Chains A and B, each alone.
Chain A
Amino acid sequence: MASNLPTQRAAIQQRLSDVREFFDELLSNRKVMITFTVMPVLILFLLINIFPIVWAITASFFQVPPYGGTWEWIGIDQYIDLFALEAFRQSVWRSVVFASGSLLIQVTFGLGLALLVTQDFKFKRLIRAIAFLPYLVPMAVFGFIAIWMTNTRFGIINRILIDLGIVDSGIAFFSTEALVMPAIIIVSSWKFSIFVTIMAVARLQSIPDSHYEAAEMCGAGAWRKFRDVTLPNLRGVLFIVVLLRFVWMFNKFDIIWVLSHGGPNDVALTAPLFAYETAFQQLNIGGASAVATMLFGLLVVTAFLYFRVLEPSKGVRVE
């Protein structure tokens, strides 16, 4: 019996490797490969992305009881109501103002910072880590920091402003009608400029040194090198950044909500906040879905036009 053990073990090993080979073969089959690579992501995508969207678009044509029950078809009534509603139109306009304003700051500051941190200097790794840090600081958390720093009684910003003699007493930035929107734009730019920075740094790093050397040989100064080498290389990235950041800022909910809940007299109530209030305070699910669907449609059309008119993909692959 004992002498059989090695042969038995060999047989088992043979069997195991057969099984493994069988599975390898099976998994290498094209259909099986599709099933275990593309299908899972497709199903998950359908479940958590596509399905909620379709749900919302459908709900926008119904009166949806907030606590469950049968939906009542009302067609495009909700859309008509919304168009007639001054508050809705204003909220969309505010979103445009917020997105454009913060985009301007983000691209300027973000790009400037990217150019600064791609050069060589001491402690580059540490400085870069600091420069990139805001991107990973939760916006809501930074909102609380901003609220604390601008506290009218104990905030450091107000303290400095008073000490410098610029103001007499603390300013309530987030509850003053004229200041709330600019203040939110500046606070949110602190974080989101860094998205521009990281994108730009990634691109800048991939520009071969030889391009700059060639430009230098041709007698180009710093400005010409920037204009003729750096800028053309950044073109594609800038297009994408501008599109994505505009869309994301347009849809931004958290920072505005945390800082001002829409501001005094709703002066900072952008469209996403309008949708939120419609859904969770007025419990009008159908109406909120109509708002969301319109925003979605608006952004899809914007993106479509953007890609059509500017064809950024042409710029993406410069080399």
Chain B
Amino acid sequence: MSNQTESPMMDSKHISYRQRRQLKRLVHYGLLSMAMVVILFPILWTFTTSIRPTQDVQTRDVTLLPTQFTLDHYEALLLNTEFVTWLVNSIVVAAGVCALTVVFATLGGYGLARLDLKFKQTFARGVLLGYMFPSILLGIPMYIMWRDLQLLNSRLGLVLAETALALPFSLWLMWNFFQSVPYSLEESAQMAGATRFRAFVDVALPMARPGMIAVVVFAFATSWNEYTLAQILMTDQSNYVITIGLDTLINDQLIPWGEMMAATFITLLPAFLLVYFLQKYLIRGFQVSG
């Protein structure tokens, strides 16, 4: 700024390189802040609602920042509703879906990438069709089938159902991932005397770890988000997961918005921790799939 006189370009329509860069940065930060507001405002609003006393929540003269602070809604939610049960169900189901998906996708991905199979092309297309399945289309037959198999209202049943949503994408991911790991590494292990199986366990598997973490993130997201199948397959309230459990809070005559938002906020926490710590893997997973 101090040496403006040195720049002959300054006077009329030209601006200096440095100023242009500052302007660019200003625009960048401006747009980024706007995007952050759009994303964060609903979440912050959820949080502030959850810590306001009821008379402060249900008022026409609502203020942006809470005037009083209370944990009553959290207490009521944990003590007077089945929220804890739903939370546990959500976590157990998500863990199950992650485990099932990562094991099957890793084994299958390895096999498809490394073994010479006749039906590979058909299989690839079949998996692609998995993208076209509406949940609702899966839900109707699953409801009937699970009913006959006594899997309705069971967490195992829901794990299986949600794995159907997570598996196609995850299999593609691992399949691609193993292709990006050079086979020569396994070959040299075999040359050094390892069996093919040993080479898989000791060489290929450790190298595939980032892909496996990406699968876990994706499977978790799928299960944690899932609503449609859970709504169809879990008909008994004590078997609900959070997403459908929230429905029952809202069905009352008077909607307890403080508790609703407390429940919602608790649901958001694991998601935030996951993206904060595992964003590298999230991106990595999507990179391979593209």
Contacts and interface: CB of A to CB of B under 8 A. Distances in A.
Interface of A: 21, 23-25, 27-28, 30, 33-34, 36-38, 40-42, 44-45, 47-53, 55-56, 59, 109, 112-113, 116-117, 119, 121, 125-142, 144-149, 151, 153-154, 156, 159, 190, 198-199, 201-203, 205-206, 222, 236-237, 240, 244, 247-248, 250-251, 253-254, 257-258, 272, 275-276, 279-280, 285, 288-289, 292-293, 295-296, 299-300, 303, 316
Contacts of B135: 251, 253, 272
Contacts of B247: 140, 258
Contacts of A254: 227-228, 231, 243
A186 B284 CA distance: 28
Interface residues on B, range: 35 or more
Contact of A33 (B62, B123, B197): B197
Tell me the dominant secondary structure on chain A's binding face: helix
A27 B271 CA distance: 39
Contact of B290 (A36, A133, A202): A202
Contacts of B130: 45, 49
A41 B133 contact: no
Tell me the dominant secondary structure on chain B's binding face: helix
B271 A154 contact: no
Contacts of B60: 153-154, 159
A51 B138 CA distance: 9
Interface of B: 24, 28-29, 31-32, 35-36, 38-40, 42-43, 45-46, 49, 57-60, 62, 100, 104-105, 107-108, 110-112, 115, 117, 123, 126-138, 140-142, 144-145, 160-161, 163-164, 167-168, 171, 195-198, 220-221, 224-228, 231-232, 242-244, 246-247, 250, 257, 260-261, 264, 267-268, 271-272, 274-276, 279, 282-284, 286-287, 289-290
Contacts of A113: 35
Contacts of A199: 286, 289-290
A251 B128 CA distance: 15
Contacts, number: 281
Contacts of A293: 137
A27 B197 contact: yes
Contact of B246 (A137, A144, A276): A144
Most-contacted residue by chain B among A203, A254, A275, A316 (CB, 10 A):
A254
A79 to B, nearest CB: 15
